[in-house]
Amino acid sequence: MNSITHTDWVARSLASVWHPCTQMQHHETLPLMAISHGKDAWLYDYEGRRYLDAVSSWWVNLFGHANPRINAAISDQLEKLEHAMLAGFNHAPVVELSERLAAKTHHALGHCFFASDGASAVEIALKMSFHAWRNAGQSQKQEFVCLTGSYHGETVGALGVTDVPLFTEAYGGMYRRAHVVASPASTGEAEALIAMRSLLERRSAQIAAVIVEPLVQCAGGMAMYGASYLTQLRDLCDQFSVHLIADEIAVGCGRTGSFFACEQAGVWPDFMCLSKGISGGYLPLSLVMTTDDVYQAFYHQDIGRAFLHSHSYTGNPLACRAALATLDIFDEDDVLVKNRELAKQLGHALAKVATHPSVKNSRQTGMICAFDVVPAVADGFSRRFFTEALQLGVLLRPIGTTVYWMPPYVVSDEEIALLSDVTLAALDKITGSRPVSG
């Protein structure tokens, strides 16, 4: 196995694997990296080169690769139970994880329903909302609302509440399109709330739920907005009897500065979707938490009123143990407090990058930093920047002309300095501009 080279693995992968979110022809010129192993904030290829994982392997890794505490928890669980169906059965990891997450919401939410990935969690929340209204005798409430630039996954229901044409336009005939309302990140809070109120005044009798990514619309270009919008949106949903779904798949688990992003608005949604970091980046796991009112809408002798939705690996014990170990690290290491200092260091580094003449609209929410690159260097920018940064030892994957940093919570001051230096060097190489001194 060890005699197989990096080049061998790349060739075999290109011949056998269809890689996600990729135009495969681009790999005729774009490097495909064969990863041998990971440690802390770093990934290593088969030739011994290492790359700072500045995007947390698509936003999932919280406490570094090969984390010994999460490793130990999974290893212990392997000796007990690898999997059992959750229909008609339970096991300690899924019960304990559900209890601990409910406690983090002060029991405003609970009744965790498990799946494997973020899009599946969104599907569950949409179906639960739709069905809950039906069970309540309001079957006309079948419509959904999302924000401009929103992204909630790529399964069919999730595409219906996604407003990124790159992902949706090829499949328009497959799904029911949601109402798309102005995002506070693009129009400002006041105008966005006016637009939302106007729609709810006209269509609330037909609308089941509004779905939002709290504070940061990640795949839509790291668009950021204030917590007060969520507070007032919660009021509007209550006023017009519409569910609120919080997609915290990317922004939950400490990314924005609080464990749940909604905490900063002082509100709880009717449905909260979690995935990505909940297992520390180890195993596929997602879940939806909801209110007791929603749960009771399904609690009945009639099987037709039950939520008949399932996934084979629902509540997998190994994934749940990884999540429990992740929560232990949060509690034992006072992670949210430490992240505030890390966020300051990232902010200082971002300020340095913001002096580059090609950079505009630098922004930050907690452990997420982003900036846009001027249109003059937009052509092929994402792939060019990715390649240049990778050659300099940092994994960065821009969204169009938006560069973002979303490193693991174990990133060091030295690694943050490397991140900013490589970002500047890559920008300089691509744009031909030198950063402004000062």
Q: Indicate which CATH number applies to the domain containing 279.
A: 3.40.640.10
pLDDT value at position 139?
Answer: 97
Q: Are residues 234 and 124 in the same domain?
A: yes
Q: Are residues 289 and 312 in the same domain?
A: yes
| CA dist., res. 246 & res. 229, Å (int) | 13
Tokens standing for 316?
Answer: 């997998």
pLDDT value at position 1?
Answer: 45
Give the pTM: 0.95
Q: Are residues 181 and 314 in the same domain?
A: yes
Question: Which 3 state secondary structure label does DSSP give 368?
Answer: strand
Give domain status of residue 185, yes or no. yes
Q: Which residues of the chain have pLDDT under 70?
A: 1-2, 376-379, 433-438
Give domain status of residue 216, yes or no. yes
pLDDT value at position 421?
Answer: 98
Give domain status of residue 427, yes or no. yes
Give domain status of residue 437, yes or no. no
**CATH number where 363 lies:** 3.90.1150.10
Task: Please give the torsion angle defined by the CA atoms of residues 184, 190, 192 and 194, in that order, rounded to the nearest 10 degrees.
Answer: 170
Tell me the torsion sign for CA atoms 387, 154, 401, 345.
negative
Q: Which of 304, 332, 360 is the last residue of a domain?
A: 332
pLDDT value at position 234?
Answer: 98
Strand partners, 394: 52
Q: Are residues 166 and 90 in the same domain?
A: yes
Give domain status of residue 346, yes or no. yes
408 contact partners, CB below 8 Å, separation of at least 6:
40, 41, 53, 56, 61, 62, 63, 64, 281
Q: Are residues 247 and 341 in the same domain?
A: no
pLDDT value at position 19?
Answer: 86
Q: Are residues 289 and 359 in the same domain?
A: no
Q: Are residues 137 and 248 in the same domain?
A: yes
Give domain status of residue 436, yes or no. no
Sheet containing 50-53: order of strands: 35-39, 42-45, 50-53, 394-395
Tokens standing for 62?
Answer: 């919280």
Strand partners, 210: 145, 244
- 50 neighbors 43 (Cβ within 8 angstroms): yes
Full domain range(s) for residue 417: 6-66+334-431
Give domain status of residue 174, yes or no. yes
Q: Are residues 272 and 157 in the same domain?
A: yes
Q: Which of 295, 314, 332 is the last residue of a domain?
A: 332
Q: Are residues 58 and 133 in the same domain?
A: no
Q: Are residues 320 and 392 in the same domain?
A: no
| CA dist., res. 229 & res. 183, Å (int) | 10
Give how many domains the chain has, as a whole number.
2
Q: Are residues 62 and 79 in the same domain?
A: no
- 418 neighbors 386 (Cβ within 8 angstroms): no
pLDDT value at position 210?
Answer: 98
Listed residue (308, 249, 282, 361) closest to 68, CA to CA:
282
| CA dist., res. 274 & res. 248, Å (int) | 5
Q: Which of 332, 363, 396 is the last residue of a domain?
A: 332
Q: Are residues 84 and 49 in the same domain?
A: no
pLDDT value at position 161?
Answer: 97
Give domain status of residue 203, yes or no. yes
